[in-house]
Structure 1
Amino acid sequence: MKTYLFDIGNVLLAFDFTPALTSLLGPDSKPNAFLDIIERKDAFESGQVEVDDYVQWASKLLDFHGTVEEFKHAWRHIFTPILGTWELAEKLKADGHRLILYSNTNAIHAIHCLETYSVFEHFDHAVFSHEIGAIKPHPEFFLRSFEKFNIDPALSYYIDDLPENIEAGRSHGLNSHLYSADRHHELLEWVTTH
């Protein structure tokens, strides 16, 4: 049995924040609101900022005067399934391998994804940055996840779309593949040959 570690963003689900944030814009939004919100996303995704605090702060930047639930609704609807990796995850699970979600994410997106997308039913565990208190590519993300889920890097196969995360994975001994949806065949070849 092997362990496969799947990133979510741009591996299992494509995402685009722009339409969601645009839908929340008010007439007096700050000029750099989008940039500021994305820049602070790392603190949010590492669990350093609580959901309500982040929503209130972002709402002020956007000049959004709706409810917290309306903000969350827009924030959640940024994803599009990448069906090729869904099929691969289903096959790997059927073949008896252990699957773990391995993602920088936040409390709004994590719950939404688990409840909404059927592919997540195939996963045995989830390493979410906001729960583990660190984001990729920081070493703490990898080391804490290895300990918590008894991950043996030599027997684990990590799929991510960001070069810096793949480099960090390799430095921690993980068999790692840089994924791009337009080169999906390369992932299938990698899985077959490793």
Structure 2
Amino acid sequence: MTFLFDIGRVLLDFEYERSLEKLLPVDCEDRRGRLERLLERKDDFEAGKIPEDEFIDWSLERLESEATPDEFRSVWRSIFVPNAPMWQVVERLAEEGHRLILFSNINSIHWPWITEAFPRFSRFHGAVLSFEVGAIKADPVIYQHAIEAHGLVPEQTRYIDDLPANIAAGRKAGLRSWQYDLKDHAAFEQWLEAELAEG
């Protein structure tokens, strides 16, 4: 059985704002507004439409930050916390011989760094990454790419993501999809058991 796993708020929880605040000047006014403006271009960055160096320079300018590009990279990466219950599921599925594929909106600062910071990503057999494909979920393009690149049979592929729009696109592509809620992992476990039983 093949499983497509989103990363953010499924395998890793994250919090951009709290981490990025470290880059703001101490006397900065409208802290929230600056951070929100910074995240306006995150989707374009994750779609590979903005080169990494250009995004970093633009971000530091928008924040009026004196941080270096390397300091920005470090802060940008320090947003993640592993979701322990889901990693237990990953270990189980890998041990049982299922094919596991990452399917994520992600950028070149976070990838491949997260695979070094969290070695258990080695349990996955492949990855479909937005910045490499040139499209982000819920664009149908990235779903079709995943299907073709990994030879997926959609109706036999289980897809886990936290965002309603992404799940809707997954179902439209024929994937057997589950909208994951970090606060209700038990509901996911019930769905998983039913899917595994069905085969």
Q: What is the TM-score of this pair, normalised by structure 2?
A: 0.93
Residue in structure 2 matched with residue 99 of structure 1 by the alignment = 100
Could you tell me how far apart the structure 1 residues matched to 2:28 and 2:21 are?
13
Could you tell me how far apart the structure 1 residues matched to 2:28 and 2:53 are?
21
Residue in structure 2 matched with residue 78 of structure 1 by the alignment = 79
Could you tell me how far apart the structure 2 residues matched to 1:107 and 1:135 are?
14
Corresponding letter in the other structure for 1:44: F
Residue in structure 1 matched with residue 191 of structure 2 by the alignment = 190
Corresponding letter in the other structure for 1:40: R
Could you tell me how far apart the structure 1 residues matched to 2:139 and 2:188 are?
24
Corresponding letter in the other structure for 1:6: F
Q: CA deviation at 1:118?
A: 2.5
Q: CA deviation at 1:29?
A: 7.1
Residue in structure 2 matched with residue 89 of structure 1 by the alignment = 90
Deviates more, 1:24-33 or 1:66-75: 24-33
Residue in structure 2 matched with residue 110 of structure 1 by the alignment = 111
Query: Does the Cα contact within 8 Å between 1:37 and 1:58 map onto a contact in 2?
Result: yes
Q: CA deviation at 1:66?
A: 2.0
* 1:44-63 matches, cutoff 5 A: 44-63=45-64
Query: Does the Cα contact within 8 Å between 2:38 and 2:63 map onto a contact in 1?
Result: no
Query: Does the Cα contact within 8 Å between 1:30 and 1:62 map onto a contact in 2?
Result: no
Q: Deviations over 1:105-145 (max 9, x none)?
A: 00011212111113201100011100111000000110111
Residue in structure 1 matched with residue 14 of structure 2 by the alignment = 15
CA RMSD of aligned residues (A): 1.3
The percentage of aligned residue pairs carrying the same residue is 39
Could you tell me how far apart the structure 2 residues matched to 1:62 and 1:93 are?
42
Corresponding letter in the other structure for 2:110: H
**Matched residues, number:** 193
Query: Does the Cα contact within 8 Å between 2:12 and 2:80 map onto a contact in 1?
Result: yes
Could you tell me how far apart the structure 2 residues matched to 1:29 and 1:115 are?
36
Q: Deviations over 1:44-79 (max 9, x none)?
A: 000000110000000001111221111000000000
Could you tell me how far apart the structure 2 residues matched to 1:65 and 1:58 are?
11
Structure 2 spans left out of the alignment, 5+ residues: none
Corresponding letter in the other structure for 1:63: E
Corresponding letter in the other structure for 2:15: D
- Determine helix, strand or coil for the equivalent of 2:138: coil
Could you tell me how far apart the structure 1 residues matched to 2:49 and 2:58 are?
14
Q: What is the TM-score of this pair, normalised by structure 1?
A: 0.96
Q: CA deviation at 1:28?
A: 5.6
Residue in structure 1 matched with residue 141 of structure 2 by the alignment = 140
Structure 1 residue 165 corresponds to structure 2 residue 166: yes
Could you tell me how far apart the structure 1 residues matched to 2:38 and 2:112 are?
20
